[in-house]
């Protein structure tokens, strides 16, 4: 069927409406959609729907917004509500406010490098043992800058992928044959293949309930730098429910990323249901494979309003699915720490390492610990 310009216009308009809703629909996809519809029956709304879903949707999460836009665009659905821009704008202004705090900016006005470093180092010394909860807004900003330099290095493991090497376990026949050409077909020197070393994935699960919000904001910053430094990092936030913020944290600018992540999470400083949230994490993400071979870092004080049995069960499953579980708690300040909250007691048997997330020194301890968990 030859496509009428009218039809193409309608389809491209639909693609544009999807883009406005945040789906990654480029002009290439729109073109494919038009080609697909040329082969189908444009008068059949089911064809229009399913062809669009095959071409313009590329992950499961996009199906719901797709349906919404489809209803609105083709059926003139009553749900033609304009997007509420309020939360996004609000989150933006919060970070801007935080940014506007007058502080000694180490990258500012051409001071000598030496002074900058000195400033930063002494900052770090003073702030190292200051509890996050007790620090002032200015100190927190300074901490943020220091933490931007502190990155989490995941432990390594040997991959099944191999590369050519001088010594190794398996002979590299390809390279050996190549080399033997030079010596008249005599393989005088065997070449080898050796297994590559790759970084393990890290999964950060941050408690953002009322009792933990201050710590977790810092860890979110930490998560952002880590997500940009290491290969595979997944970040989740939870209070009463679990939210995945990995995609939001991909933004290069930390402030924008944090603002986006904050907008996605709707239960900042609410209650806690650790058990239910970890259980959801295990079912939704860990079981399908996101936590396999990974180091899972849970940051929480363990104050749980739910059933401790749920938490114990989720933690047991999690510890079986992943490589190591590290628990970061603000209450641990020395090596004689024993769990005090019911939640911590339930989780305790399934934790491999426990570190303090109380202050910068604790985070440094975490950063030093991770590479050793191989």
Partner 1 sequence: MPTYPPRSVGHLTDILRAGSYLADRGLATALYVGITLGRPVLLEGEVGVGKPEVAKALAAVFGRRLIRLQCYEGIDTSQALYEWDYARQMLAIRAMSERALAADEAVDALFGPKFLVERPLLEAVRAGGDAVLLIDEIDRADDEFEAFLLEVLSDFQITIPEIGTIRAAEPPLVILTSNRTRELHDALKRRCLYHWIGYPSADREVEIVLLRAPGVAQALARKVVGAVNRLRELDLAKPPGVAETIDWARTVDLLGATGLDPQMALDTLGAVVKERDDLELVIANVEEITSGA
Tokens representing 312 are 């114990």
Q: Which of 4, 13, 20, 24 binds partner 1 (CB under 8 A)?
A: 24
Site size toward partner 1 (CB under 8 A) is 46
- Segments in the chain forming alpha helices (H): 5-20, 27-39, 45-56, 63-75, 86-100, 113-127, 137-147, 173-180, 213-229, 254-264, 274-281, 308-321, 342-347, 360-369
Tokens representing 156 are 């390594």
157 belongs to the binding site for partner 1 (CB under 8 A): no
Q: Which of 20, 177, 229, 368 binds partner 1 (CB under 8 A)?
A: 177
Q: Which of 145, 287, 305, 331 binds partner 1 (CB under 8 A)?
A: 287
55 belongs to the binding site for partner 1 (CB under 8 A): yes
CA separation for the pair 137, 126 (Å, rounded):
15
Q: Which of 22, 174, 197, 340 binds partner 1 (CB under 8 A)?
A: 174
- Collapse the DSSP code of 24 into the 3-class scheme (helix H, G, I; strand E, B; otherwise coil) and give the result: coil
CB–CB of 230/151 below 8 Å?
Answer: yes
Q: How far is the CB of 187 from partner 1 (least distance, A)?
A: 7
64 belongs to the binding site for partner 1 (CB under 8 A): no
- The contact mask relative to partner 1 for 71-90 (x = CB under 8 A, - = no) is --------------------
DSSP 121-157: HHHHHHHTTS-GGG--HHHHHHHHHHHTT------EE
Tokens representing 202 are 């890290």
Q: How far is the CB of 294 from partner 1 (least distance, A)?
A: 11
Which residue stretch of 20-28, 94-102, 121-129, 325-333 sits at the interface with partner 1 (rule: CB under 8 A)? 20-28
190 belongs to the binding site for partner 1 (CB under 8 A): no
Q: Which of 1, 45, 54, 134 binds partner 1 (CB under 8 A)?
A: 54
Element (H, E) at 192: strand 192-199
- The residues binding partner 1 (CB under 8 A) are 24, 26, 28-29, 32, 35-36, 39-41, 46-47, 50-51, 53-55, 57-60, 63, 159-162, 173-174, 176-177, 180-181, 184-185, 187, 198, 232, 282-283, 287-290, 292, 313, 317
């Amino acid at each position: 069927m030859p496509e009428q310009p009218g039809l193409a216009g309608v389809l491209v308009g639909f693609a544009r409406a999807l883009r406005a809703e945040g789906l990654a629909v480029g002009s290439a996809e729109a073109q494919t959609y038009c080609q697909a519809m040329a082969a189908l029956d444009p008068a059949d709304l089911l064809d229009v729907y399913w062809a669009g879903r095959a071409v313009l949707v590329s992950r499961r999460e996009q199906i719901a917004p797709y349906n919404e836009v489809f209803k609105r665009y083709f059926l003139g659905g009553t749900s033609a509500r304009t997007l509420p821009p309020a939360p996004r704008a609000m989150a933006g202004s919060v970070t801007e406010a935080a940014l506007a705090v007058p502080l000694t900016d180490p990258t500012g006005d051409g001071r000598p490098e030496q002074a900058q470093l000195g400033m930063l180092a002494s900052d770090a010394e003073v702030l190292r043992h200051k509890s996050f909860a007790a620090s002032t807004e200015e100190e927190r900003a300074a901490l943020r800058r220091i933490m931007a330099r502190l990155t989490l290095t995941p432990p390594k493991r040997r991959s099944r992928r191999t590369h050519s090497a001088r010594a190794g376990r398996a002979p590299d026949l390809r390279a050996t044959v190549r080399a033997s050409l030079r010596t008249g077909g005599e393989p005088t020197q065997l070449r080898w293949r050796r297994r590559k070393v790759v970084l393990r994935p890290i999964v950060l699960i941050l408690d953002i309930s009322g009792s933990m919000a201050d710590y977790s904001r810092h860890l979110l910053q930490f998560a952002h730098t880590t997500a940009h430094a290491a290969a595979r990092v997944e970040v989740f936030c939870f209070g009463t429910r679990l939210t995945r913020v990995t995609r939001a944290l991909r933004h290069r600018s930390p402030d924008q990323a944090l603002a986006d992540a904050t907008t996605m999470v709707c239960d900042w400083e609410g209650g806690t249901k650790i058990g239910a949230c970890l259980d959801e994490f295990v079912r939704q993400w860990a079981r399908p494979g996101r936590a396999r071979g990974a180091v899972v870092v849970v940051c929480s004080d363990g104050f749980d309003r739910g059933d401790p049995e749920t938490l114990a069960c989720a933690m047991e499953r999690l510890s079986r699915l992943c490589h190591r579980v590290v628990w970061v708690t603000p209450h641990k300040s020395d090596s004689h720490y024993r769990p005090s909250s019911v939640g911590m007691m339930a989780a305790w048997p399934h934790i491999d390492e426990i570190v303090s997330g109380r202050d910068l020194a604790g985070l440094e301890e975490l950063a030093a610990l991770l590479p050793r968990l191989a």
